Chains A and B, each alone.
Chain A
C-alpha cells in the first residue's frame, strides 16, 4: 500500500490534534475537581451560610483560569485538524506531530497546578469573608503565573506548525522536531504543578494573616519563577533543536541523539519543577505565619531550590552534549 506524502501529513496532523486535546484534558479537569472539592468543604465548614454565594463565585473564577490550559490545547487541536499545509513534506508531518505532543503534555501540569490556588482561595474566603476580593486577586495572579509553562508549550507548538524551516535535510531533522516537542511538553509538567503548590500555599497563608499579603505574594512570585526554571530549560533545548541546522546524515544514530536530547530534558525537568514548587510552598506557608523571618526563609528556599534544580541542570548538560558533541 503506497502512502503519499500528503496523506502522511494529514495522519500526523490528526494524531497530533488528538494527542494535544487528549493529554491536554487531563490536567485542567483534575485541578478544577480539586477547586470544587475545596469549595464544598469550605461551604460546609463556614458558620455563616450567606457567604456560600461568594465562595461559589470564586470557585467558578478559579476554575475558569484553570481551564485555560486545556483551552490552549483545544485551540492547537482545532488548528491541527483544519490546517492547510501548502507544501506537504515528511518534515512537516514530524513538526505537526511534535506540536501536538508539546501542547498535550504541556497542559497537564498547569491545569493541575492552577486548581490549588482556586481551592485554597475558596477555603480562605470561608475563614475570612471580609478579605474575599484580596484573596481572589492573589488567586488570579498565582494561577496566571502557573499558566506560563502551558504558554511556553503553546508557543513551541505554534512555531512548529507555522514557521517554514526551509530546506532542512529530512534525515536528522525529523528527530530534532519530535525532540523539541517532547522536551517542551514533558518539562512543562513539573513546573506547572510546582507553581500551583506555591500559589495554593499563598492563598492559604493570606487567609490566615491578611496583613502579610505583600510579602507572601512577593515570595510566591519568586518561588514560582524559580519553579519554572526547568520548563525554561525545556524551552531552550527545544529552541536549539528547532533552529539549529543539522548536517544531513543517513546514520540513524544522529537522529536518535537529537530525539534522546529532547526526551532527556523533558523527563529531567519534571522532578525539579515539582520539587522547587514544594520548596516554594513551604517557604510561602511559613512566611505567612512568621513574617519577620521572611528574608531568611526566602534565602533558604532559594538555596534549597538551587540544589533540587541541579538535576535539571544535569539533564540540560546531557541534552546539550547529545546535540552538539555526539
Chain B
C-alpha cells in the first residue's frame, strides 16, 4: 500500500527556489506524444480513395470531432479550432488508456497535466473572446448584471479551470487508487481486469470526451 501517494520527483535547486520535475509523468507524456505521432503518420501515409483500416479510423475520428466543433462554433471557426480539438481529444484518450498497460501510468493522473490543459483551454477561450468581440465588450461582460458583481464573475471564470481540471484528475486518479486498493485486497485475482476495463477504457473515454466538449463549449460561450 506504500505506493499510494508516492511520486518520483527530481528536485533541482535554482536561485533559492526548488524546481520539481515529476519524471515519471513526463516520461509517460512523451510516450503518448510518440504514440500519437506514429498513429498520425500511419493514418496519413499513402492516402487512398479507398482507405485502409488505419486511415479509415483516423478519418472517422477527425470527421466526428470536426462535426462536434462545427455544431458548437460554426463552420468558419471550426477550421481554426478543429485541429486543437482533435489533438486534445486524441491526447486525452491515449493518456487515459495508457494505464491499462502494465508498468505504465496515465499522465492525466497527475494534477499538473490536467491543470496545464485546463489553463491552456481557458487562455484560448478568452483570447478567442477578445478577438471576436473586441477588448471593450469583453471587459464589459465582467460587470454584468451590476458592476459590483465583477469579483464574483472573475472567481466564477477561474472556477471553470478548477472544475475542468479536477474532474479529469479526480476520475483518473480515483480509478487508479480504487484499482490499487482492490488489487491489494484480492491479491490481484479476478476483479482487477474488470476494474481496468471500467475505469481505464470506459470512464477514460467518457472523461476525455467531456474534457474536450467542455473546452469547445467554453470557447463558444466566449465568442458568442
Contact = CB atoms under 8 A, between A and B. Distances in A.
B208 to A, nearest CB: 11
Contacts of A125: none
Interface string B186-224: 000000000000100011001001100110010011001
Interface in A288-325: 294-295, 298-299, 302-303, 306, 309-310, 313-314, 316-317
A232 B1 contact: no
A145 interface: yes
Main secondary structure of the interface of A (DSSP, over half): helix
Contact of A221 (B171, B202, B206): B206
A316 B156 CA distance: 11
A242 B4 CA distance: 14
Contact of B206 (A144, A294, A299, A313): A144
Nearest to A306: B156
A326 interface: no
Contact of B152 (A155, A225, A302, A313): A313
Main secondary structure of the interface of B (DSSP, over half): helix
A119 B218 CA distance: 32
Contacts of B163: 226, 228-229, 232-233
Contact of A302 (B68, B175, B181, B217): B217
A145 B181 contact: no
Contacts of B155: 313, 317
A313 B220 CA distance: 22
Nearest to A314: B152
B177 interface: yes
A151 interface: yes
Contacts of A8: none
A152 B174 contact: yes
Interface of A: 75, 79, 141, 144-145, 148, 151-152, 154-155, 158-159, 162-163, 215, 218, 221-222, 225-226, 228-229, 232-233, 235-236, 294-295, 298-299, 302-303, 306, 309-310, 313-314, 316-317
Interface of B: 1, 4-5, 68, 71-72, 152, 155-156, 159, 162-163, 166-167, 170-171, 173-175, 177-178, 181-182, 185, 198, 202-203, 206, 209-210, 213-214, 217, 220-221, 224
Given A75-B182, A229-B167, 19 more contacts: A144-B198, A144-B206, A145-B210, A148-B170, A158-B177, A162-B4, A162-B181, A163-B5, A225-B210, A228-B163, A232-B162, A233-B159, A233-B163, A294-B71, A295-B71, A302-B217, A302-B221, A303-B221, A309-B159
